[in-house]
Amino acid sequence: MVGPSRPQIVLFGSSIVQMSFGHGGWGAILSEVYARKADIILRGYYGWNSSRALEVVDKVFPKDAAVQPSLVVVYFGGNDSMAPHPSGLGPHVPLTEYVDNMKKIALHLQSLSDSTRIIFLSCPPVDEAKVRQNQSPYLSEVIRTNDLCKTYSDACVELCQELGLEVVDLFSTFQKADDWKTVCFTDGIHLSAQGSKLVAAEILRVIKEAEWNPSLHWKSMPTEFAEDSPYDLVSADGKQTVNSSEWTYFWEEQWD
């Protein structure tokens, strides 16, 4: 551990989470927005489904941890929603089992502490043509359709409504963007910088609008070591220093 202690925001999910610090990813955006306010902790696992996540959720989030996360952002569903392989192997999880897995994950996270907040991300759409085009010669055919993605996305949203959890409906969010198939993905599945901006914007919106006490909106959280100092940059008149701890001018985008 390093100090001072900060609130923890944990990103838990499959490849869209593991890759969220690359390609101008949404995890990197959150790290920039929450710099000096909270630690963004990555727990992403490429290729995983909700069943595999459920197997380790108590190891990733042990109930006896000295410090529990303030917020957990959870994404599983894209791999679950793939069409089943004839062998019975692979990441496909039947819909009812997926919902049950996600419910168990949510209940475990809710049990960590009274102040641990949760946001689920639902299954986004895919560019079906690009997925087919990018088939690997080393893997069996990957069948991902938007009909399946929507079914799993809707189930995730419905579960969150049942449990009173915050949710970002990525399936709907992405399709609001102009030319979404081209701009949101790198390979038809994984997110481009523009796709990640949509995810980050929705997460930040949910956090801002949530009636959580304390608020986890970045503007409401204290900035670490924000006091004035004679070692700050000197103002143009040379008579005082200027506190730079809240500056955001260097962000590529000014987030709310």
Burial 137-172 (b: 16+ CB within 10 A, else e): eeeeebbbebebbbbbbbbbbebbeeeebbbbbbbb
Q: Give the active site residue among 14, 15, 31, 122.
A: 14
Q: Is 187 assigned a catalytic role?
A: yes
Q: Is 190 assigned a catalytic role?
A: yes
Spatial separation of the C-alpha atoms in residues 30 and 198, rounded to whole Å: 12
Task: Decide: 135 and 88 in contact? Cβ < 8 Å.
Answer: no
CA distances, 71 to each of 31, 120, 217 (Å): 13, 11, 11
Strand stretches in 77-225, DSSP E: 117-121, 166-168
Q: How far is CA 148 from the centre of its chain?
A: 21
Which helix (H) or strand (E) segment holds residue 28: the answer is helix 26-33
Spatial separation of the C-alpha atoms in residues 40 and 9, rounded to whole Å: 5
Q: Give the active site residue among 50, 80, 153, 190.
A: 190
Q: Is 114 assigned a catalytic role?
A: no
Q: Give the active site residue among 58, 140, 187, 229.
A: 187
Q: Report the chain's C-alpha Rg in angstroms.
A: 20
Show which residues are catalytic. Answer: 14, 187, 190
